């Protein structure tokens, strides 16, 4: 049975001087705040209003808990300090000469109401403070400490390697839980890591072939991710068949794993699609040319554009601007083959493009 207040009063309060009955300023403000009935409402759901053994007064329990957390006291030390202090007894609404609740009573009551009641009390206190303009809830101040750390920028290669790792690991967890146990799944994590190390070595070499190595290795890891995705989809299909036939036990854990695996597959597929899009737009995949909406800059003749062999720093390159139509532009390797087949005139002038018919 819920008991909210302590109606008993002691005769000792009539003979004590007024100075002994006063409370400190802090306790006076808290005592006035805890008189609000809103702090009693969260406890009504845990007690019957009529039937049962009467509880300790809730107003006493609230004030005891304030003293406990305010001064960081244990339950036993709290009860001893309250029993030795007249001001704390008056604050906790305990009559002078009365009995202080036993520590085990406070422990059992705290366990009974649970964390939900404490959260409700904190929310009620927050709203009450906001209503009295003691707390401004529209602003937040955060004190942070900045620590220097290395930044790992995400790349297509790194994201795909992590996707392969996640897919292989989750597939093993699903099979260990009893789903798709006969489905053969190949672990491609080692191959993905080995190719990532190849990129790291190529970047340290600082040669002109580093960009080509990055694109080529990214394509290889993308193919590994595609194969791992195919294995993952077979595992999900087999696990769902096992759940439908009731062969897997326990079904709850396996169903949760399958849902998690399906989410991982969808995210990995999005990463793979993004990688394919960048690879298709960044470098030609084994073709002599690629489609581009470009036009040459006017004022540069074809004869001046291919004036003999030159280095990459001095070779004239035509700037391009987007136009409404698409044309096919030959790659540098194709133009070098065409330049070699042009016969050089005997007078030393530049070769004419129209004299070459290609090979």
* pTM, rounded to two decimals: 0.40
Lowest model confidence (mean pLDDT) among 24-38, 196-210, 265-279 = 196-210
- pLDDT value at residue 206: 66
- pLDDT value at residue 12: 64
- pLDDT value at residue 13: 67
Query: What's the pLDDT tens digit per position in 53-63?
Result: 888 888 999 99
The ranges assigned to domains in the chain are 12-131, 156-282, 290-355
Lowest model confidence (mean pLDDT) among 26-30, 140-144, 264-268, 306-310 = 306-310
Alpha carbon distance 155, 159 (integer Å)? 6
Mean pLDDT, the chain, rounded, equals 75
Q: Give 289's strand partners.
A: 330
Query: What's the pLDDT tens digit per position in 69-110?
Result: 889 999 999 999 999 988 898 899 888 878 899 999 999 998
Burial 54-92 (b: 16+ CB within 10 A, else e): ebbbbbbbbbbbbbbeeeebebeebbeebeeeeebbbbb
pLDDT reading at 266 higher than 90: yes
**Using alpha carbons only, how large is the chain's radius of gyration in Å?**
39
**How many other C-beta atoms can be found within 10 angstroms of the C-beta atom of residue 327?**
12
pLDDT reading at 322 higher than 50: no
Between 320 and 191, where is the model more confident? 191
> What is the Cβ-side half-sphere exposure of residue 336, based on CA atoms within 13 angstroms?
9
In degrees, rounded to 5, the angle at the alpha carbon of residue 257 between the alpha carbons of residues 255 and 260 is 110
Angle between the 58-71 and 25-34 helix axes, to the nearest 10 degrees?
140
Alpha carbon distance 178, 10 (integer Å)? 69
Proportion of the chain above pLDDT 70, given as a percent = 70
Query: What's the pLDDT tens digit per position in 212-241?
Result: 888 889 999 999 999 999 999 999 999 998
Give 71-127 as a DSSP string: HT--HHHHHHHHHH-HHHHHHTTPPTT-PPPPHHHHHHHHHHHHHHHHHHHHHHHHH
In degrees and rounded to multiples of 5, residue 178 shows phi and psi of 105, 10
Q: Is the peptide bond before 97 cis (omega within 30 degrees of 0)?
A: no
Whether 351 contacts 312, CB under 8 Å: no
pLDDT reading at 127 higher than 60: yes
């Amino acid at each position: 049975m819920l008991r909210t207040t302590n109606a008993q009063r002691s005769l000792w309060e009539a003979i004590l001087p007024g100075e002994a009955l006063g409370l400190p300023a802090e306790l006076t403000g808290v005592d006035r705040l805890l008189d609000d009935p809103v702090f009693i409402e969260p406890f009504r759901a845990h007690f019957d209003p009529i039937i049962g053994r009467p509880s300790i007064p809730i107003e006493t329990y609230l004030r005891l808990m304030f003293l406990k957390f305010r001064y960081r006291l244990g339950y036993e030390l709290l009860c001893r300090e309250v029993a030795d202090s007249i001001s704390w007894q008056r604050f906790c609404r305990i009559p002078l000469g009365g009995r202080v609740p036993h520590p085990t009573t406070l422990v059992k009551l705290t366990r009974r109401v649970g964390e939900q009641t404490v959260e409700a009390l904190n929310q009620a206190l927050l709203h009450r403070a906001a209503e009295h303009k003691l707390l401004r809830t529209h602003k937040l101040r955060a004190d942070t400490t900045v620590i220097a750390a290395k930044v790992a920028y995400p790349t297509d290669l790194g994201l795909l390697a992590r996707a392969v790792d996640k897919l292989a690991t989750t597939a093993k967890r699903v099979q260990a839980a009893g789903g798709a146990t006969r489905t053969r799944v190949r672990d491609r994590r080692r191959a993905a890591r080995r190719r990532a190390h190849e990129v790291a070595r190529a970047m340290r070499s600082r040669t002109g072939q580093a960009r080509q190595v990055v694109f080529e290795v990214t394509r290889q890891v993308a193919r590994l991710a595609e194969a791992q995705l195919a294995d993952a989809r077979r595992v999900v299909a087999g696990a769902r068949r096992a759940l439908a036939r009731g062969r897997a036990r326990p079904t709850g854990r396996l169903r949760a794993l399958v849902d998690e695996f399906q989410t991982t597959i969808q995210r990995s597929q999005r990463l793979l699609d993004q990688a394919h899009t960048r690879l298709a737009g960044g470098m030609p995949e084994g073709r002599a040319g690629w489609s581009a909406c470009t036009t040459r800059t006017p004022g540069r003749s074809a004869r001046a554009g291919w004036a003999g062999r030159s280095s990459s720093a001095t070779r004239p390159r035509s700037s391009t601007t987007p136009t409404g139509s698409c044309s096919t532009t030959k790659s540098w390797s194709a133009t070098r083959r065409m330049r070699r087949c042009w016969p050089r005139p005997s007078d030393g002038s530049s070769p004419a493009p129209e004299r070459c018919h290609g090979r």
